Structure 1
Amino acid sequence: MTRRPTISDVAAAAGVSIATVSKAVNGRYGISSETSQRVLQVVAEMGYESSLVASSMRSRRTGVIGVLVADFEPFSAEIMKGVGIGLRDSSYDLLAYAGSRQGDSEGWERRSLSRLSGTLIDGAIVVTPTVVTTSAEVPIVVIEPHTGHADNPTIESDSFGGALQATRYLVELGHTRIGFLGGRPDLRSDGLRDAGYRRGLAEAGIPYDPRLVRSGFYQEAAARGPAVSLLTLPQRPTAVFAANDLSAIAIVKVATELGIDVPRDLSVIGFDDIPEASQMNPPLSTIRQPMQKLGGAAAGLLLALMAGESPEATRIRLPTRLVKRATTAPPRRA
């Protein structure tokens, strides 16, 4: 393994002191432009990179923003793309960190922030935290808090409005027996999507039937069992609204395995519009929440807070949009 060049190696190659290399790398005064250019040329040739920890100890700044997620999955991946776009014109680098792999997942963001803040990152964007209040030594912006409005600045999608759109669309197609495959009942987003589903039924005069409701826990593998249970009912639904696309994909796969044609015998609509939604066969109808815009808005808000500004809006809700594809159609009449 090739040894990484150190600041001592750079100083020796450039014929200067370690202090001079530090001044050149950090853009500080005290050396001539000619010396600075010579040192930076050697830095580029040798591929030297200063330690984030060492530089943060000196300046209390790292030039890095952390995005903390519970897991790397399609939703968080799209969020991180948006954060990257939002930071493109800034001087900050992006550090992605998944924090719930060890021990109980509850409170993962507190453990992660205690490890990173003050030494590795200057600010943090926390995606779907499990606690309402999250504090750290650095500014924080929260995306889609699980359990309610966070005390920190918050960015979220209109989960209730999106679920209402989905249910209204299925009703407009002519469906009256509409199932709901939710996420996790303890999460705010799931509660809002369940409420939007119920409102859509009530508007159409369709009684709410708890026998047509299951929880898929927002994961494709976990949603398979509930999907089988829902689609093998004596009077199964003719349409299902799933609280996220991974659950909707599970429904389509289970339906295919059971010989149920989508969309002729069963309409399915999801929520998120992850890349896989448009790539599957048939392409999935869904509610598009602006995941990359969530990340971009969070990045912009965090940059303002780090600059000492006081943004007018610190509770931002972005609209969702119905995307019609090939997994929804009017119910087949006997």
Structure 2
Amino acid sequence: MQSRVTIVDVAREAGVSVATVSKVLNGKDGVAGATAVRVQGVIETLGYESSIVARSLRSSRTNVVGILVPEFEPFSAEVLKGVARGIGETQYELLAYAGAGARLHEGWERRSLSRLSGTLIDGAVLVTPTVTEVATTIPVVAIDPHTGTSRLPSVVSDNDDGGYQAARHLLDLGHTRIAFISGRPDLESSRGREAGYRRAMTEAGLAVDPALVVAGDYQREGARRATAALLDLAEPPTAVFAANDLSALATIEEATQRGVDVPGGLSVVGFDDVPEAARSVPGLTTVRQQMSEMGAVAAAMLLDLLRRSEPVNPHVRLGTELVVRASTAVPRR
């Protein structure tokens, strides 16, 4: 394996001292113009790049921002695209980091920030953090924090309204026995989506049957178990609103495996509008949250903080939109 190019290699190739290369790298005076041009040429030819840690030791800045996630799944992947877009025209580079087993441990963000802040990143976007009371020396912005709005600048979706739109769509089609496969009970986003579902049912004059509200934990296997339990009821639902697309797609898988036609025998609505929603068969009706835009807005807020200015609005709530595809239909009579 080819060894990493070092500052010594650059100095040797350019015929100058290591100190001269260091001055060129850091934009210091005391180097003749022709020499600086020659050193820069060698740097580009050899592909030399100083380490992030060395850079931070010299200047107390790394010019790197981090996006820290508990795990890489469809939601965080779309948010990542938005953060990358948000910093695309700046001098900052982006580091995506997922702590091992972080989804299972409250406080994962504290450990991740402790490892990375200062020496590897200048600021961070935390995606679905479990806690927002974090002691850190760098600016931090939270996306969809577990506990909702906090002292940290944050970006969230209007989950209550999104849940309402999903249930309202199924009610408008004529469904009355509508199940809800919830997300994680510790997440504000899941609670908001359930609140919207319940609000729509109440407005329609329908009581929510407790047997039709089942936890899926935002996970594929959890959603399949929840769907199986619902379909095994003496009076199964005619429609399911799942708290995220991953759960909704798992609901379709489980129903199809049991011989239940979607949408003929069971209508299904998700939440997120991840790319897989449009590609599924049938296409998934879902509530679109602006995942990429959440990332871009969070990146803009973080850049404001890095410039030592406060965001104009430290707590941003983005709207949602119902996207109707082929997984919902009027119920069979």
TM-score of the two chains, using structure 1 as the length reference: 0.98
Q: 1:103 to 1:164 in 2, by over 3 A?
A: closer
Separation of aligned partners in 2, 1:30 and 1:125: 39
Secondary structure of the corresponding residue to residue 166 of structure 1:
helix
Secondary structure of the corresponding residue to residue 110 of structure 2:
helix
Q: Report the Cα offset of residue 99 of structure 1.
A: 1.6
Q: 1:91 to 1:321 in 2, by over 3 A?
A: same
Which residue type is aligned with residue 309 of structure 2?
E
Q: Does 1:313 align with 2:313?
A: yes
Q: Does 1:170 align with 2:170?
A: yes
Tell me the residue number matched to 2:242: 242
Which residue type is aligned with residue 87 of structure 1?
I
Tell me the residue number matched to 2:327: 327
Q: Does 1:216 align with 2:246?
A: no
CA contact (8 A) 2:148 2:188 kept: yes
Tell me the residue number matched to 2:292: 292
CA contact (8 A) 1:113 1:136 kept: yes
Tell me the residue number matched to 2:199: 199
Q: Report the Cα offset of residue 92 of structure 1.
A: 0.2
Q: Report the Cα offset of residue 103 of structure 1.
A: 9.7
Q: Report the Cα offset of residue 187 of structure 1.
A: 1.3
Separation of aligned partners in 2, 1:86 and 1:326: 33
Q: Report the Cα offset of residue 232 of structure 1.
A: 1.7
Separation of aligned partners in 1, 2:187 and 2:149: 11
CA contact (8 A) 1:134 1:151 kept: no
Tell me the residue number matched to 1:87: 87
Matches within 5 A, 1:7-46: 7-46=7-46
Q: Deviations over 1:251-289 (max 9, x none)?
A: 100110111110011100000001111111111000000
Separation of aligned partners in 1, 2:135 and 2:181: 34
Separation of aligned partners in 1, 2:236 and 2:135: 47
Q: Deviations over 1:215-270 (max 9, x none)?
A: 10101122111110011211100000000000000110011011111001110000
CA contact (8 A) 1:212 1:230 kept: yes
Q: Report the Cα offset of residue 152 of structure 1.
A: 0.6
Secondary structure of the corresponding residue to residue 227 of structure 1:
helix
Q: Does 1:54 align with 2:54?
A: yes
Q: Over the residues paired in the alignment, what is the CA RMSD in angstroms? A: 1.1
Matches within 5 A, 1:227-238: 227-238=227-238
Separation of aligned partners in 2, 1:21 and 1:101: 42
Separation of aligned partners in 2, 1:303 and 1:83: 11
Separation of aligned partners in 2, 1:56 and 1:186: 37
Tell me the residue number matched to 1:129: 129
Tell me the residue number matched to 1:157: 157
Give the aligned length: 333
Give the share of equivalent positions with the same residue, in percent.
Answer: 55
CA contact (8 A) 2:70 2:103 kept: no
Separation of aligned partners in 1, 2:238 and 2:125: 40
Q: Does 1:117 align with 2:117?
A: yes
Secondary structure of the corresponding residue to residue 208 of structure 2:
coil
Which residue type is aligned with residue 134 of structure 2?
T
Q: Report the Cα offset of residue 31 of structure 1.
A: 1.5
Which residue type is aligned with residue 273 of structure 1?
D
Greater shift, 265-274 or 18-27, is seen at 18-27
Tell me the residue number matched to 2:304: 304
Secondary structure of the corresponding residue to residue 240 of structure 1:
strand
Q: 1:306 to 1:222 in 2, by over 3 A?
A: same
Tell me the residue number matched to 2:97: 97
Q: What are structure 2's unaligned runs of at least 5 residues? A: none
Secondary structure of the corresponding residue to residue 125 of structure 1:
strand
TM-score of the two chains, using structure 2 as the length reference: 0.98
Separation of aligned partners in 1, 2:243 and 2:102: 27
CA contact (8 A) 1:132 1:148 kept: no
Tell me the residue number matched to 2:190: 190
CA contact (8 A) 1:248 1:268 kept: yes
Separation of aligned partners in 2, 1:37 and 1:60: 26
Q: 1:64 to 1:321 in 2, by over 3 A?
A: same
Secondary structure of the corresponding residue to residue 287 of structure 2:
strand
CA contact (8 A) 2:117 2:136 kept: yes
Q: Report the Cα offset of residue 160 of structure 1.
A: 0.5
Q: Report the Cα offset of residue 151 of structure 1.
A: 1.6
Secondary structure of the corresponding residue to residue 72 of structure 1:
coil
CA contact (8 A) 1:66 1:121 kept: yes
Tell me the residue number matched to 1:63: 63
Greater shift, 277-286 or 93-102, is seen at 93-102
Separation of aligned partners in 2, 1:159 and 1:28: 51
